[in-house]
Amino acid sequence: MNKIPFVTKEQVAEIAKSYPTPFYLYDEEAIRANARELYEAFSWNPGFKEFFAVKATPNPYLLQILREEGCGVDCSSYTELLLSEAAGFGNGEIMFSSNETPVGEFTKARELGAYINLDDVTHIPFLQKECGIPETVCMRYNPGGIYELENGIMDNPGDAKYGCTEAQMVEGYQKLLALGVKNFGIHSFLVSNTIAEDYYPTLARTLFTLAVRLKEKTGAHIAFINLSGGIGIPYRPEDEKVNIKRVGEAVRKVYEEVLVPAGMGDVALFTELGRYMMGPYGILVTKAIHEKHIYKEYIGVDACAVNLMRPAMYRAYHHITVLGKENAPADCLYDVVGSLCENNDKFAIDRKLPKIEIGDYLVIHDAGAHGYAMGYNYNGKLKCAELLWKPGGKVQMIRRAEQPKDYFATFDFSDMMKPYLS
Ligand SMILES: *Cc1c(COP(=O)(O)O)cnc(C)c1O
């Protein structure tokens, strides 16, 4: 199956008149439709709420769109809390799933009425000392060992720094009960970017059975269970999109089998998806500006790993479409590369693509999550703009491109740098 971008060559050429490439472009209608599908799939659970992982796409305009679709946000830092506050998220709409939390952040989270998700039992006195213990507290669980799904080993939680053991969950709940906590949550994030549809149902069984044991051992009222993030997207054309309706139904079965008989049919389910909510609906648009024929064939583009780091960092696959050549035969073999002085700055290696001419627009797919957000400024490269493709084809700038003055902003105390700061 081919991946067809949501914009044409002509539309991109028009946008590029106002916003030079490279830029990110997000498809508002598709973001909304996907969010609605998720809510539909879990509508059997009255308390269901998705807390979008802000780290995936930290743009307040996109956060607002999700808020309009009923989503909350998941934050894990002070600035993510500020962004969420700016986008209008308040009481009960923020999950604060931090780890190794710096001093001061729990205070801000509490001020915003966020759910506090403690990464460890030792965070209880830390939280108490800093800003007191709220009425509702969540704790993050790590089952240890190896996490296996039907099609094999998925990850190695025993090696992960997150969460605490079951014994520590019990100890934590007891301490929190003694401190007056009324409602409890359970959270766990075990596998990242999986399109295996049994991930959520398997995790649900792990957490639901844990919830029953915690309730029996401590008497705590468990108000919600947070299945967290991790549902993947079809980066490769041959991958299939997770059927979220089927996943929702499978989780429902486990809920009815484990929680309902234990008298826990009032537990709300939360998710903290990032990639699944936004990944497929953002593209990075870039232009071919150089070609090079040495031991391999290279196409140099005006974006680089600063704009999208996943290929350089994990050798992640991102599909590429040459606009205007959607149906042309892919009979050339290219490395598509950026301008960093780093040989890993390659969006594609040995990729079969239609013949590329200088000036062609390339769409790098599935960049909507963990794309712009991971960007950095190596080589003094500046980050690009983010644009929103609105229903009807209007374009709204939702973040301007960086300018040199942004790169130098932290020298604002310096006379030497003053000429470059305006
Ligand atoms: C990163 C993260 C998420 C989102 O992960 P995705 O893979 O984007 O779904 C959710 N919760 C926590 C705590 C995270 O760290």
Instruction: Going residue by residue through the chain, which has 422 residues, state the pLDDT in tens, using 9 for 90 and above.
Output: 689 999 999 999 999 999 999 999 999 999 999 999 999 999 999 999 999 999 999 999 999 999 999 999 999 999 999 999 999 999 999 999 999 999 999 999 999 999 999 999 999 999 999 999 999 999 999 999 998 887 788 789 989 999 999 999 999 999 999 999 999 999 999 999 999 999 999 999 999 999 999 999 999 999 999 999 999 999 999 999 999 999 999 999 999 999 999 999 999 999 999 999 999 999 999 999 999 999 999 999 999 999 999 999 999 999 999 999 999 999 999 999 999 999 999 999 999 999 999 999 999 999 999 999 999 999 999 999 999 999 999 999 999 999 999 999 999 999 999 999 98
Atom of ligand 1 nearest to the CA of 140: 13
| Per-residue confidence (pLDDT) for residue 1, from 0 to 100 | 61
| Per-residue confidence (pLDDT) for residue 142, from 0 to 100 | 96
Amino acid at 136: T
| Per-residue confidence (pLDDT) for residue 152, from 0 to 100 | 80
Residue 140 CB–ligand 1 contact under 6 Å: no
Locus of tokens 């690009």: 384
DSSP assignment string, 237-284: TTS----HHHHHHHHHHHIIIIIGGGT-TTPEEEE--SHHHHGGGEEE
Atom of ligand 1 nearest to the CA of 273: 9
Residue 163 CB–ligand 1 contact under 6 Å: no
Q: Is 341 a catalytic residue?
A: yes
- Report H helices in 289-414: 310-314, 404-407
Residue 242 CB–ligand 1 contact under 6 Å: no
d(CA 357, CA 359): 6
Domains in the chain, start-ordered, CATH in brackets? 27-279 (3.20.20.10), 280-411 (2.40.37.10)
Q: What does pTM read for this prediction?
A: 0.97
